[in-house]
Structure 1
Amino acid sequence: MKINVLDRGYVRLVDHMGSDLSVVNSARVSYAKQSKELSPNDTKLIQFLAREGHTSPFRHTTVQLEFYAPLMVARQHWKYVVGSDHTMDAWNEASRRYITIDVENYVPQPLQWRSKPEHSKQGSGEPMREDIGREATERLMRQIEQGMKDYEWALEQGIAPEQARLLIPSAYGMYTAYYWTASLQSVSHFLNQRLAHDSQYEIQQYAQAVYDLVQPLFPVSLGQLLHTP
């Protein structure tokens, strides 16, 4: 299952382990009990666990997702791995030290550029005027085109890919591919923050794709763990 995001990106469900029933049985093992099917009482147990902050049972379920995202999204997402103190996350990313895969960039169209918000130091405001947006797109494309020429020249001269990549243009907009494996608790933490209305638009779109892929797998548990509608 794959959901397209932005102009070239996507999120793909690679694999998963467990279900809402896994959460229930992880909790009930304390009393040497096990459920065969999810019952109303099991649903109440999940509600209790989420409400009271008993989160370890949610860490017995995992999802593995593949992302293709601009670096500015990937680096925001990465914070949820290096800053995680409640679960073990795994992250593996394509490396241009070893490969010279095609370079693709996130390029907002003229009507997609956003203004600086009036009352905040971060985030975005209203859309920019179309003429300014058009020039911003053109300027970005010029940088990308020139940078690609320089990068390809470096490779043709035999410069090592790990150094030639310094010439790759538009670093924040360049797409990168990576796998993220995380527990349901970790996924819900990411979603609670990045589905919020004041998070960056681009990562909101990736968070929505994650939600759409994961929610059918853990409908009860995720519904209880999320604070963001």
Structure 2
Amino acid sequence: MTKINVLDKGYVRLVDCMGDDTTIVNAARVSYDKQTDELSDKDKRLIKFLATHEHTSPFRHATLQFEVYAPLMVARQWWKYVVGSNHTMEAWNESSRRYVTEEPEFYVPGSKSWRSAPNNSKQGSGKPVDDDLGMDALHRLMDTVFRGEQNYRWALENGICAEQARLFLPAYGMYVRWYWTASLQSVAHFINQRVESDAQKEIQEYAHAVKELALEKFPVSLSELIKP
């Protein structure tokens, strides 16, 4: 499996991977000029020791590259883990509507997917809103998207440059596509932060997809790095 669909139109795809669980073991044991080709129980214990005691540099010798298609509100939260990361091996390249004019797509939650504001927090969300309010929210969002797309096409058809025409598009729900390359340590840090129950629900779903794809490549190391 290399691709997992997320939300209504989004996905996470594992594009490439460098290393496996033995990469971490060999990086740790190079100090003693030791190397292994096949993971043993002793190697697994070493990985557990490294993760438990936060000897994290060996986990930065393995990398994963993902292609992600997600609403902009998810992308901008995700981006914080690149600009704010103290881990090495981070890269991000995103498609730009300065250069491409492909048909825009938008994340439109169903009428039963709208959530209430939380009672005791300035961020996150609470329980689902009632059906009537959810339906009203759905119709209002669809109307906003429709008008934005109309104005975007009008601007392009009348010769306005793409980098300004995009101003008409409702930004936060618009899908964007990017490549994210990160060390195994960085991937684990992202998963630990974004699968928590207080994280935005939409990015939780992407984090679970990343976790599932990464576990196939690093079943031992990632299991030790991820919080129980």
Shared fold by TM > 0.5? yes
Contact 2:18 2:62 in 1 (8 A): yes
C-alpha deviation, 1:138, in angstroms: 0.3
Aligned sequence identity (%):
63
Distance 2:214 2:59 in 1: 13
In structure 1, the partner of 2:215 is: 215
The answer for the alignment partner of 1:177 in structure 2 is 177
Deviation of the 1:202 alpha carbon: 0.2
Report Cα offsets for 1:155-187 as digits up to 9, x if no partner. 00111101111111x211000000000000000
Return the letter of the residue paired with 2:127. E
Q: Counterpart of 2:138? A: 137
Q: 1-side partners of 2:87 and 2:181: how far apart?
A: 14
Q: The residue matched to 2:179 in structure 1 has which SS?
A: strand
Q: Structure 2: state its 5+ residue gaps.
A: none
The residue type paired with residue 75 of structure 1 is: R
Q: Once the 2 structures are TM-superposed, how far is the Cα of residue 43 of structure 1 from its aligned partner?
A: 0.4
Counterpart mapping for 1:1-229 below 5 A: 1-168=2-169, 170-227=170-227, 229=228
Distance 1:59 1:87 in 2: 7
> Number of matched residues?
227
TM-score (norm 1): 0.98
Cα separation, 2, equivalents of 1:101 and 1:26:
43
Moved over 3 A (4+): none
SS at match of 1:110: coil
**Shift, 1:88, TM fit:** 2.4
SS in 1 for 2:123: coil
- State the AA in 1 paired with 2:180: W
Taking the aligned partners of 1:51 and 1:103, their CA distance within structure 2 comes to: 45
